Amino acid sequence: MAALRWTLRVSPMLARARTSPGSLATTCLADRYLWDRFHAQPRPGSVPTFDWFFGYEEVQGLLLPLLKEGPVSCPPRVLDVGCGTSGLCTSLYTQSPYPVDVLGVDFSPVAVAHMNRLLEGSQGQIPLSPGHPASHLCFRQADAQNLGPVAPSGSFQLLLDKGTWDAVARGGLPGARRMLSECLRVLSKQGTLIQFSDEDPDVRLPFLEQMCCGQTVTMQELGPFGGITYFAYLVKCAH
């Protein structure tokens, strides 16, 4: 029943994006070529990143406590799945006072190339430098529904998904289930998956609870940012 309600509902953010002129006014937000076009659009001003929902500043208070336990010799591995051109990965890398080993993946080569240029510094820009000398950042192209080529099982302590599951879900429930299964597969023991979304808890929580049997699912309200309330859905691995 929960799944049926879920399939009929469109995340408010994505509904807005779909009807914005010149942005994502097409039908399938799971389509890679649509995202390639979106990520190729010029950004206003000289801002090098574009964030859905909100940026790093709004969630650093939630993220940093999850990272501070990691040993310098082996920093916690963080995967941002569907990183797009968000500043989440780059800000974690440049601002976290704790060592972090961050991987941003997206199926759009346009987004990945943009983030690699930003990281390495191109066209006279200065390369990004880490907030902690032991921190590391890289970007790779990968499909969230098949993370095998970039992520062995149990290899990440923190998995971030800001708006990606919402987009993949627009392509249908099977793809959304595959993506969530992959996220859970690559999560380490005691790892945490965080989905940031504007989808209501009465829709998202039953779905996650059904899919994440044996794991603890909780939710935190975020914001309002720009007048919109968002949610962080946390899945803690229990295996």
Ligand X SMILES: C[S@@+](CC[C@H](N)C(=O)[O-])C[C@H]1O[C@@H](n2cnc3c(N)ncnc32)[C@H](O)[C@@H]1O
Where on the chain is the footprint of ligand X (CB under 6 A)?
30, 35, 51-52, 82-84, 86, 106-108, 111, 143-145, 162-164, 167-168
Nearer to ligand X, 108 or 192 (CB): 108
Among 139, 142, 151, CA closest to 107: 142
Give 37 or 209: the residue with its C-beta nearer to ligand X: 37
**Least distance CB 212 / ligand X (angstroms):** 19
To the nearest whole angstrom, how small is the minimum distance from the Cβ of residue 72 to ligand X?
28
CB 150 within 8 A of CB 142: yes
Q: 3-class DSSP state for residue 37?
A: helix
**Whole-number Å distance between alpha carbons of 75 and 51:** 25
State the nearest-atom distance from the C-beta of 89 to ligand X, in Å: 9
Instruction: Compare residues 165 and 207 and give the one whose CB is closer to ligand X.
Output: 165
Residue indicated by tokens 């627009």: 170
> Minimum distance between the CB of residue 198 and ligand X, rounded to whole angstroms?
11
Q: Please identify, using beta-carbon distances, which residue of 144 and 158 lies nearer to ligand X.
A: 144
Residue burial 74-92, b: 16+ Cβ < 10 Å; e: rest: ebbbbbbbbbbbbbbbbbb
Residue 141's closest CA among 167, 180, 115, 171? Answer: 115
Q: Which residue lies nearer to ligand X by CB, 10 or 134?
A: 10
Residue 54 is given by DSSP the state: -
Minimum CB separation of residue 39 from ligand X in Å reads: 6
